[in-house]
Amino acid sequence: MSITATTEPAEQAGQEHFDAIIAADQRIEPRDWMPEKYRRTLIRQISQHAHSEIIGMQPEANWITRAPSLKRKAILTAKVQDEAGHGLYLYAAAQTLGITRDEMTMQLIEGRARYSSIFNYHTPTWADMGAIGWLVDGAAICNQVPLCRASYGPYGRAMVRICKEESFHQRQGFEILMELSNGTPEQKQMAQDAVDRWYWPALMMFGPSDEHSPNSAQSMAWKIKRFSNDELRNRFVGMCVPQFEALGLECPDKDLRFDEETGTWITGEIDWDEFNAILDGRGPANTQRLRHRREAHESGAWVREAAAEYARKQRERDQQPIAA
Ligand SMILES: [Fe+2]
Ligand SMILES: [Fe+2]
């Protein structure tokens, strides 16, 4: 029997099963047949997401020792630890698709994988911790809540826990800004400056406009993605408008307007050249972020070696015959 004769019907049956699961809004699990492009798309998306969580620890960890009080240090430490956890759940989800964590790590530290452009900006003041929590984690929530229903089971389930933790991150950022905004004029100005720095980059986190986002349509057909980039971005802006008012801060988008017809907020022009430059590695902190990640990997080599050796000894011990 030829290979084609045996694989084709099997593949066709797999495809039919896959299509039926997607159509019924159920979940694809690691044991299920899936189209190769679906698998690759998920590996790319989930690993990029994991890398973003891990690299994203850097701009905030940078402030842990300088946070203004013991309470603020404890909160920021917990938040940064959460991000490490998010990275780990996501690497574990990607591993179910047939890639190893080592491969993903090498792709990142050799500059072959992408992570969110937002983490290539600097955090010069304490208020940046507020702006990151409020805007960056806030944008992440808008992007990620629909991913809890992603068609790939391990990804959707990882997102449920991540989203719960992200809402705490968003609240802690908002609270930092609220306190600064109600403080001295200098503190209020520091909050405004940080929001001015992070607002536009946070809008870019949703990715290019729908007409320039070639993979979006396929990801929506596969029910990995549920809403378009622009829909999510507009929803995020709509959430921010009353929060700007509550904070007593100005929105840096002077062209922001409410469209009565569609009932959504429409943003002013986004500087996509800046976004593309950062994606190409030319952002303010790209080199620093990757160098730091590479050094952390190298200095952790002894931990990995010790763990591997311990596992080898355990296996050896398990294989020894039990003494009579
Ligand atoms: Fe996170
Ligand atoms: Fe977060």
Written as tens digits, the pLDDT of the chain (324 aa) is 344 445 678 888 899 999 999 999 999 999 999 999 999 999 999 999 999 999 999 999 999 999 999 999 999 999 999 999 999 999 999 999 999 999 999 999 999 999 999 999 999 999 999 999 999 999 999 999 999 999 999 999 999 999 999 999 999 999 999 999 999 999 999 999 999 999 999 999 999 988 888 778 888 889 998 889 999 999 999 999 999 999 999 999 999 999 999 888 999 999 999 999 998 888 999 999 999 999 999 999 999 999 999 999 999 999 887 765
Give the tokens for residue 203: 């809008």
Distance CA(51)–CA(254), nearest Å, equals 33
Distance 3 CA to ligand 1 centre (A): 45
Distance 229 CA to ligand 2 centre (A): 19
Cβ-proximal residues to 23 (8 Å cutoff; 6+ apart), any chain: none
Sign of torsion over alpha carbons 88, 93, 94, 95 = positive
Largest CA distance in the chain: 83
Cβ-proximal residues to 246 (8 Å cutoff; 6+ apart), any chain: 178
Distance 117 CA to ligand 1 centre (A): 14
Distance 261 CA to ligand 1 centre (A): 35
Distance 269 CA to ligand 1 centre (A): 27
The predicted pLDDT at position 6 comes to 52
Give the tokens for residue 65: 């020792």
Q: Indicate which ligand has the atom closest to the C-alpha of 129.
A: 2
Distance 302 CA to ligand 1 centre (A): 27
Distance CA(252)–CA(238), nearest Å, equals 14
The predicted pLDDT at position 3 comes to 43
Sign of torsion over alpha carbons 59, 169, 264, 243 = negative
Q: Indicate which ligand has the atom closest to the C-alpha of 159.
A: 1
User: What's the pTM value of the predicted model, to 2 decimals?
Assistant: 0.91
Distance 12 CA to ligand 2 centre (A): 41
The predicted pLDDT at position 7 comes to 62
The predicted pLDDT at position 324 comes to 58
Distance 313 CA to ligand 1 centre (A): 35
The predicted pLDDT at position 193 comes to 98
Give the tokens for residue 54: 């891990």
Distance 247 CA to ligand 2 centre (A): 20
Distance 166 CA to ligand 2 centre (A): 5
Distance 168 CA to ligand 2 centre (A): 8
> What is the helix (H) or strand (E) element at residue 174, kind and residue range?
helix 153-181
Distance 163 CA to ligand 2 centre (A): 8
Q: Indicate which ligand has the atom closest to the C-alpha of 88.
A: 1
Distance 220 CA to ligand 1 centre (A): 23
Distance CA(290)–CA(143), nearest Å, equals 24
Cβ-proximal residues to 173 (8 Å cutoff; 6+ apart), any chain: 129, 130, 131, 132, 133, 134, 135, 136, 137, 138
Distance CA(164)–CA(145), nearest Å, equals 9
Q: Give the Å distances, CA to CA, from 39 to 90, 109, 167, 176, 193.
A: 15, 23, 29, 40, 42
Helix, strand, coil % in the chain, rounded to nearest 5? 70, 0, 25
Q: Give the Å distances, CA to CA, from 229 to 103, 223, 232, 261.
A: 29, 14, 5, 20
Give the tokens for residue 210: 């729908």
Residue 212's CB is within 10 A of a number of other CB atoms, namely 10
Distance 285 CA to ligand 2 centre (A): 19
Compute CA 34 distance to the chain's CA centroid, rounded to the nearest angstrom: 24
Distance CA(238)–CA(224), nearest Å, equals 24
Q: If you ran DSSP here, which 8-state letter would residue 28 be given?
A: B
